[in-house]
Structure 1
Amino acid sequence: MRKHEQPQQRRIRMHFILIAITLALVSGRIATVINPEGDSAFLSANDRSRWVSVAALVEKGTFAIDELIVIKTPKGHRLWDTIDKVRHVGPDGRLHYYSSKPTLLTTLIAGVYKALHWSTGLSMTDQPIYVPRMLLLLINVPTLALFLVTMMWTVERTDTTDFAKRLVVAAACFGTMLTPFAIALNNHLFAAAATSLTLWIYLRCCERIHDDFSSLTYMPRFWPWFVAGTSAAFTVACELPALSMFCLWGVLFAWEAPRSIPGFLLGAMIVAAGIFGTNYWAHQSWRTPYAHRGYGDVQDTFEWNVAAQDSEKAVADSLRDALRETQPLESAKSILVRSLFEGGYAIVAEFEQDGKFREIQYKVEQDPASKSGARWNLRSWDDWYEYPRSYWRSGNRRGVDLGEPSRAAYLFHATVGHYGLFSLTPIWILMPFGLAYRCLKGPGYERRLAVSVALSSLVCFAFYVARPEIDRNYGGVSICFRWMLWFAPLWLYGMLAEADSWSEKAVGRIMLGVLLAASVFSMSTSLDSPWQSPWLYRFASFLGWLS
Structure 2
Amino acid sequence: MRKHEDKRENRRTFYHLCLLVVMCLTAGRICSVTSREGDTAFLSANDRSRWCTVASLVEDGTYEIDRFVNYKNKKNRRPWYTIDMVRHRGADGEQHFYSSKPPLFPTMVAGVYWVAHNVFGLTMSEQPIYVPRLILLLVNLPLLYLFCWSSIWSIEMVGRGDWSRRFAATCVCFGTMLTAFAISLNNHLPAAAFTGLMIYLYFKAAEKLDDTDAFHLRDMPFDFWMLGGVAAAFTAANELPALCMLVLWGGLVYRLSQKAIVPFALGALLVAAAFFGSNYAAHSTFRPAYAHRGNGAEIGSVELLKVWPTEQIQQTLTEKGLIQPGTSIDIRPSGEANRAIIETDSHQLFALISDLKSNTSTIHHWDDWYDYPGSYWNDGNRKGVDLGEPSRLLYLVNMTFGYYGIFSISPIWLLAPLGLIDGLNRGPRDYRRFVAATGIATIVCMLFYVLRPEIDRNYGGVSACFRWMLWFSPLWLTAMAPIMDDAAEYIKQRFLLLALLGCSVFSVSFALDSPWQSPWIYQFWSFLGWIG
Same fold (TM over 0.5): yes
Residue in structure 2 matched with residue 240 of structure 1 by the alignment: 240
Alignment partner of 1:323 out of 302, 308, 313 = 313
1:251-266 paired onto structure 2 within 5 Å: 251-266=251-266
Report the alpha carbon displacement of residue 302 of structure 1 after superposing the two structures with TM. Answer: 2.7
Q: Deviations over 1:294-344 (max 9, x none)?
A: 1122223233532xxxxxxxx5xx644443333434625332322123123
Residue in structure 2 matched with residue 496 of structure 1 by the alignment: 481
Q: Does 1:425 align with 2:425?
A: no
1:531-546 paired onto structure 2 within 5 Å: 531-546=516-531
Residue in structure 2 matched with residue 362 of structure 1 by the alignment: 350
1:64/1:96 contact within 8 Å kept: yes
Q: Deviations over 1:115-168 (max 9, x none)?
A: 110101111100000000000000000110111111111121124211110111
Report the alpha carbon displacement of residue 461 of structure 1 after superposing the two structures with TM. Answer: 0.5
Q: Please give the TM-score of this superposition, normalised by the length of structure 2.
A: 0.96
1:35-54 paired onto structure 2 within 5 Å: 35-54=35-54
Give the secondary structure class of the aligned counterpart of 2:345. strand
Give the secondary structure class of the aligned counterpart of 1:207. strand
Report the alpha carbon displacement of residue 405 of structure 1 after superposing the two structures with TM. Answer: 1.2
2:147/2:196 contact within 8 Å kept: yes
Distance 2:508 2:185 in 1: 17
Larger CA deviation: 406-415 vs 130-139: 406-415
| Unpaired runs of at least 5, structure 2 | none
Question: Percent of aligned pairs with the same residue?
Answer: 48
The residue identity in structure 1 corresponding to 2:425 is L
Distance 2:215 2:315 in 1: 78
Distance 2:524 2:240 in 1: 32
Residue in structure 2 matched with residue 112 of structure 1 by the alignment: 112
Over 3 Å counting, the alpha-carbon distance change for 1:426 and 1:26 in structure 2 is same
Measured on the aligned residues, the alpha-carbon RMSD in Å equals 1.8
Distance 2:302 2:388 in 1: 37
Give the secondary structure class of the aligned counterpart of 1:366. strand
Runs of 4+ in 1 over 4 A off after TM superposition: 208-216
| Unpaired runs of at least 5, structure 1 | 307-314, 352-358
Give the secondary structure class of the aligned counterpart of 1:546. coil
2:195/2:235 contact within 8 Å kept: yes
Between the two proteins, the alignment pairs up a number of residues equal to 526
Over 3 Å counting, the alpha-carbon distance change for 1:330 and 1:158 in structure 2 is closer
Residue in structure 1 matched with residue 459 of structure 2 by the alignment: 474
Q: Does 1:103 align with 2:91?
A: no
2:202/2:253 contact within 8 Å kept: yes
Residue in structure 2 matched with residue 514 of structure 1 by the alignment: 499
1:139-154 paired onto structure 2 within 5 Å: 139-154=139-154
Q: Deviations over 1:377-415 (max 9, x none)?
A: 221111111111111111111000001111111111111
Q: Does 1:336 align with 2:330?
A: yes
2:399/2:459 contact within 8 Å kept: yes
1:474/1:481 contact within 8 Å kept: yes
Distance 1:428 1:305 in 2: 58
Q: Does 1:465 align with 2:450?
A: yes
1:72-87 paired onto structure 2 within 5 Å: 72-87=72-87
Distance 1:212 1:434 in 2: 20
Q: Please give the TM-score of this superposition, normalised by the length of structure 1.
A: 0.93
Residue in structure 2 matched with residue 348 of structure 1 by the alignment: 343
Distance 1:536 1:519 in 2: 12
Q: Does 1:33 align with 2:27?
A: no
Residue in structure 1 matched with residue 383 of structure 2 by the alignment: 398
Residue in structure 2 matched with residue 168 of structure 1 by the alignment: 168
Alignment partner of 1:388 out of 373, 378, 391 = 373
The residue identity in structure 2 corresponding to 1:484 is M
Q: Deviations over 1:241-290 (max 9, x none)?
A: 00011000000000011110111011001000000000000000010011
Distance 2:198 2:215 in 1: 21
Give the secondary structure class of the aligned counterpart of 1:287. coil
